[in-house]
Amino acid sequence: MELVVKNIKGKDTSKKVSLSELVFGIEPNDHAIYLDVKQFLANQRQGTHKSKEKGEITASTKKIKKQKGTGGARAGSLKSPLFKGGGRVFGPQPRDYEFKLNIKQKRLARKSALSYKVKEGALMIVEDFDIAKPQTKEYADILNNLKVLNKKSILVLSELNKNVYLSSRNLKGAKVITASQINTYDLMNANSVILAESSVKTLENILSK
């Protein structure tokens, strides 16, 4: 499978990159994608939610009314969940939402996501480029040339380029990561995946293990 390499002007060059069928051309596994996205979102949760139960409420323990003769139900404490300001029954408690997912499952999910993008025509390859200094307008012009400026896009570099990364931060929907940071959620969430030419081999080495 070959894709034509584009330049930052959005024009096709004479270069072509051969994509590995084992990474970019597999039969996508939807369940693997589901599990990897589920784990990614679960790991973002702080899990610091907390409500007080009856034993944690500070209030008088004096019996608030006599046991019998009132015509109503018995009431022994203002801490009861039945009263305003009382404890909550089975309320949320701090917990860790993280769960384990095998590395082979993660690689399968990422290869599946990349294969989906290739099938949809939502993956492109651009020549390696640099930006002299962090400048949002320059990166926006590149995205505009590639016709992805107002779409969710993810640019994958072989290694960190600080100027390119900083230039992208103020653009809504634009994300820049390295090949080692790639994840299924970002791939599936993006309308367009842009691979820097040098990142292709790096990706294939990471996902072919």
Mean of pLDDT values over 145-168: 93
Number of independent structural domains in the chain: 1
Q: What are phi and psi of 141, to 5 degrees?
A: -65, -40
- Residue-wise pLDDT for 39-57, tens only, equals 999 999 999 999 999 989 9
Residue 192 covered by a domain: yes
Asked if residue 186 belongs to a domain, the reply is yes
105 in a structural domain: yes
pLDDT on residue 195: 95
Look-up: residue for tokens 């939402």?
A: 97
Instruction: Answer yes or no: is 185 within a domain.
Output: yes
Q: For residue 31, give the CATH number of its domain.
A: 3.40.1370.10
| Domain that residue 28 falls in | 2-46+99-207
In a domain, 135, yes or no: yes
Integer angstrom CA distances of residue 148 from 134, 151, 160, 171? 20, 5, 21, 12
